[in-house]
Amino acid sequence: MRGSFNRRIDALDDVFRSIDAFVVREGLPEPIAFATKLAVEELFTNLVRHNTGGSDHIDVDLAIEDERLVVRLTDFDVEPFDESSIQPVDVHLPLEDRKVGGLGVHLVRNIFDELTYAYSDRTLCVTAAKNLET
């Protein structure tokens, strides 16, 4: 699945429809579909909210590669992103002692096996991969 979606939160409905079609076509189980939608929602939302001034669209690609589900979100004409700025989240702290931010990325890192960021020529590519072998 490859799609280019408007850089707006309300574009998530279109993103989810594309994910649903991909899941059906690939015969993926519901838990994988749910995890994929959750991860894409978090990553897409982060790109929209934090990469201001980017192009008017974000590309979302899903593929099965070597028994892994690979999700790529590509954001164009954006400033560099420092992945190390995302601090680990201590989920054991009481809510009132936690800092705002980072919980969504923490969630993606826990439901997918890999999460990477690559930046080049004002383009940010976020890739999440999940092993499908059982």
Query: 3-state class of 71 per DSSP?
Result: strand
pLDDT tens, position by position, 89-123: 565 556 666 565 556 787 899 999 999 999 999 99
- CA diameter of the chain: 44
User: What's the CATH code of the domain at 62?
Assistant: 3.30.565.10
Residue 114 CB partners (closer than 8 Å, separation 6+): 127, 128, 129, 130
The enclosing H or E element of 88 equals: none
pLDDT at position 131 over 60 = yes
- Which of the four pLDDT bands, split at 50, 70 and 90, describes residue 88? low
Q: What is the pLDDT of residues 10-52, one digit of tens each?
A: 999 999 999 999 999 999 999 999 999 999 999 999 999 988 7
- Pick the more confident residue, 75 or 133: 75
Q: Is the pLDDT of residue 128 over 80?
A: yes
Domain count of the chain? 1
Q: Which residue, among 60, 61, 59, 56, has the nearest Cα to 77 in the 3D structure?
A: 56
Per-residue model confidence (pLDDT) at position 40:
97
7/100 Cα distance (integer angstroms): 23
pLDDT confidence of residue 54: 84
Domain coverage including residue 79: 2-131
- Across residues 70-81, what is the average pLDDT? 94
